[in-house]
Amino acid sequence: MLGFFFKKNFYEGWDNVMFFIVPNLILDAALLLLGIPAFFVTQMPDNLAFAGIIIWAVLAFFACVAIALTSLSWAELSHDIVNYGVPELKDFFKFMKSSVKDAFKFGAICFVVLVITVVGAAYYFTPYFKGTTTGTETAVVESSAIQTVTDAATNLEAAAQTGTQGSFIGLLAGFVFCWIALSIFMALFWYPALRSFMHNPFGKSIKKCFILLFDNLAFSVVLGFYNVFLFLISIVMLGVAPGMAGIGLARENALYLLMKKYDYLEELDKAKEPLNSPKRRRIPWRDLLAVDIENTGTKGFKGFFMPWKELEDQGAKTVTKKQDDIEEDEKWREE
């Protein structure tokens, strides 16, 4: 299944790469417009630091909403792509109008999680790094390597005894906190695709995001690394491609394949198959994806760079095959 996912996503991304440009440029323009005032906020005097933080928070909120709006709109459009449909770019703007309400809700949740993550990480890790810096500065002043080691050991021992920030327990709690935050972001990542497939109420969709994550944790991790790879390519391509659209298409294709599994499990439920049945543990992906594998096919060099040539060759082969069938029929009739 995993190999077919990469193949199908690459083929569809290549065939629809021109559709990536407009959504990506819209998002890039929105982030740029929000980034310009954010830059000038950093030049504000120290006595206006609190006001600067408020402005930064407002800009970050609208950045989350902008990402949410474009992601939800693109998910609706890419839903047609993964189902072998023919998308129209004008539909993207139509979907933007219908996605505003959910975009503000989804953007607000992402913003809150982001703020909690930043504040929590600062709370747990800043004291630890401050302690490390203080020990180093003391060592430089005293110019003694032995004293550095002694001070560091003393500080760690004292921190461990108090159990406060900067201790080993605090550091461990910080890592646990970051893993929880990462899990929440990975679950929320599924929301645009779930919305485009099911159109459930907002709260129900968010709940299904977490169910989907923990039910397909390994695949979600692989998809996460794949998205990091797409993100790095997007940086090189200045966000034009694959960008948000390419990452969204990958997410849509991933859920498209997972829905095949859930449809299969639903049929087993109707047949009252036991929960510990081997049919549930071993998903017959080859059978479930047989039609999709045939529809996706295999592209050669011409298929990527000169698709019209490949279509001409396929048409010629089809005509030749039909002609051969006609000749065989005539021979059979003569005999």
Question: What are 5-23's pLDDT values in tens digits?
Answer: 999 999 999 989 999 999 9
330: tokens are 């005539």
Query: Distance between CA atoms of 101 and 202, rounded to whole angstroms?
Result: 10
CB 175 within 8 A of CB 182: no
Q: How confident is the model at residue 135 (pLDDT cuts 50, 70, 90)?
A: very low
Burial degree of 199 (CB within 10 A; 0-12, 13-18, 19+): exposed
Give the residue from 83, 105, 80 showing the smallest Cα distance to 94. 80
For residue 307, pLDDT over 80 is answered with no
| Residue 77, pLDDT score | 95
Q: What is the mean pLDDT of residues 164-175?
A: 77
Q: What is the mean pLDDT of residues 154-173?
A: 60
Opening angle at CA 222, ends 255 and 27, nearest 5: 65
Most confident of 121-125, 266-270, 320-324, 326-330: 266-270
| Residue 73, pLDDT score | 97
Among 77-86, 123-132, 160-169, the minimum mean pLDDT is found in: 160-169
Measured on CA atoms in the order 86, 90, 94, 96, is the torsion positive or negative? Answer: positive
- 3-class DSSP state for residue 1? coil
| Residue 92 CB coordination number (10 Å) | 20
pLDDT per position as a tens digit, 264-295? 999 999 998 888 888 888 899 999 999 999 98
| Residue 325, pLDDT score | 52
Cis ω before 242 (30° cut-off from 0)? yes
Query: Distance between CA atoms of 143 and 146, rounded to whole angstroms?
Result: 9
Among 126-135, 158-167, 234-243, the minimum mean pLDDT is found in: 158-167
Burial degree of 138 (CB within 10 A; 0-12, 13-18, 19+): middle
Residue 218 sits at φ, ψ, to 5 deg, of -60, -45
Q: Which residues of 43-80 are buried (b: 16+ CB within 10 A; e: fewer)?
A: eeeeeeeeebeebeeebbbbbbbbbbbbbbbbbbbbbb
Query: Distance between CA atoms of 270 and 193, rounded to whole angstroms?
Result: 26
Opening angle at CA 15, ends 9 and 16, nearest 5: 85
Q: How confident is the model at residue 126 (pLDDT cuts 50, 70, 90)?
A: confident
For residue 50, pLDDT over 80 is answered with yes
For residue 329, pLDDT over 70 is answered with no
| Residue 244, pLDDT score | 95
| Residue 239, pLDDT score | 87
CB 318 within 8 A of CB 311: no
Residue with tokens 């679950």: 187
Query: Distance between CA atoms of 137 and 311, rounded to whole angstroms?
Result: 70
| Residue 43, pLDDT score | 85
CB 88 within 8 A of CB 78: no
Query: Distance between CA atoms of 37 and 87, rounded to whole angstroms?
Result: 36
| Residue 35, pLDDT score | 93
| Residue 28, pLDDT score | 94
pLDDT per position as a tens digit, 170-197? 888 889 999 999 999 999 999 999 999 9
Most confident of 136-140, 172-176, 304-308: 172-176
Q: How confident is the model at residue 305 (pLDDT cuts 50, 70, 90)?
A: low
| Residue 104, pLDDT score | 97
Instruction: Please give the helix or strand (H or E) that residue 147 lies within, else none.
Output: helix 145-162
CB 313 within 8 A of CB 25: no
Query: Distance between CA atoms of 100 and 109, rounded to whole angstroms?
Result: 14
CB 19 within 8 A of CB 73: no
% of the chain surpassing 70 pLDDT: 78
For residue 322, pLDDT over 70 is answered with no
Q: Rounded mean pLDDT of the chain?
A: 83
